[in-house]
């Protein structure tokens, strides 16, 4: 049921993107909330698979304006792929850096890195197309839509999703975007303890 629901959501997202109806929302958010949500989703999953998971997020305590739900969706997709294609004993990290800041906005760079199976040079462009997957692996579920959606969402945010990988050595997916800074009076309420 979970798989069917995610398939349905992916198909809906992809058709929204293709008909140019996908719109991002803009609301103030705490990067911390996005990161701790990802920690909640992935920590246990990676532990159970015997993978060391590192969150190295410098801009965690800062406030931005943007579509935090879609940003989580991109990072969730990259992390769940990393988890799917990394074997027991492997390592996965999410790195986030604020690279620069002006009066009104900040540059942010994200990278999800793993030391799993990696992707051959021929497959590195293909995997971003809808329904395309590299070598099918028995028992690894997937629709081949996640990266196509993620790439389009990153583009809507003004960035570009790219991959560096060598077969057998793992993969690193990265993108950089700019987000407006949130002024004090617009800040979202601190979650209650
Ligand atoms: P899905 O995961 O549903 O198959 P995606 O579009 O998210 O679809 O990924 C497409 C393909 O790209 C995957 O099937 C896999 O072959 C390859 N891929 C994605 N991420 C990784 C990764 N971190 N390591 C190795 N291969 C990957």
For 7-36, what is each residue's pLDDT tens digit?
Answer: 788 888 888 888 788 888 899 999 999 999
If pLDDT is split at 50, 70 and 90, which confidence band does 56 have? very high
Q: Which of 111, 83, 107 is nearest to 96 (CA)?
A: 111
Name the residue at shortest CA distance from atom 14 of ligand 1.
133
For the whole prediction, is pTM greater than 0.85?
Answer: yes
For the segment 61-100, what is each residue's pLDDT rounded down to a tens digit? Answer: 689 999 999 999 999 999 999 999 999 999 999 999 999 9
What separation in Å is there between the alpha carbon of 188 and the centre of ligand 1?
Answer: 34
What is the CB < 6 Å shell around ligand 1? 77, 81-82, 85, 114, 116-119, 127, 133-134, 142-148, 171
Other C-beta atoms lying within 10 Å of the C-beta of residue 14:
19
- Closest by CA to 84, choosing from 49, 59, 119, is 49
Helices and strands in the chain: count of H runs, count of E runs:
5, 7
CB 94 within 8 A of CB 79: yes
| Atom 19, ligand 1: residue with shortest CA distance | 81
**Two tokens at 33?**
């909330």
53 alpha carbon – ligand 1 mean position (Å):
18
């Amino acid at each position: 049921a979970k798989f069917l629901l995610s398939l349905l959501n992916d198909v809906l997202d992809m058709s929204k993107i293709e008909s140019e109806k996908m719109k991002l929302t803009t609301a103030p958010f705490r990067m911390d909330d996005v990161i701790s949500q990802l920690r909640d989703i992935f920590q246990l999953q990676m532990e159970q698979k015997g993978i060391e998971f590192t969150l190295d997020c410098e801009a965690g305590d800062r406030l931005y304006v943007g579509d935090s739900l879609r940003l989580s969706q991109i990072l969730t997709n990259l992390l769940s792929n990393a988890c799917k294609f990394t074997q027991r004993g492997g390592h996965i990290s999410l790195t986030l850096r604020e690279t620069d800041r002006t009066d009104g906005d900040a540059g942010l760079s994200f990278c999800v890195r793993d030391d799993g199976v990696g992707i051959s040079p021929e497959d590195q462009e293909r995997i971003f197309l809808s329904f395309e997957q590299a070598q099918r692996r028995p028992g690894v579920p997937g629709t081949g839509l996640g990266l196509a959606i993620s790439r389009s969402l990153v583009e809507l945010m003004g960035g570009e999703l790219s991959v560096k990988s060598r077969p057998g050595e793992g993969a690193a997916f990265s993108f950089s975007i700019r987000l407006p800074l949130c002024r004090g009076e617009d800040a979202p309420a601190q979650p209650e303890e």
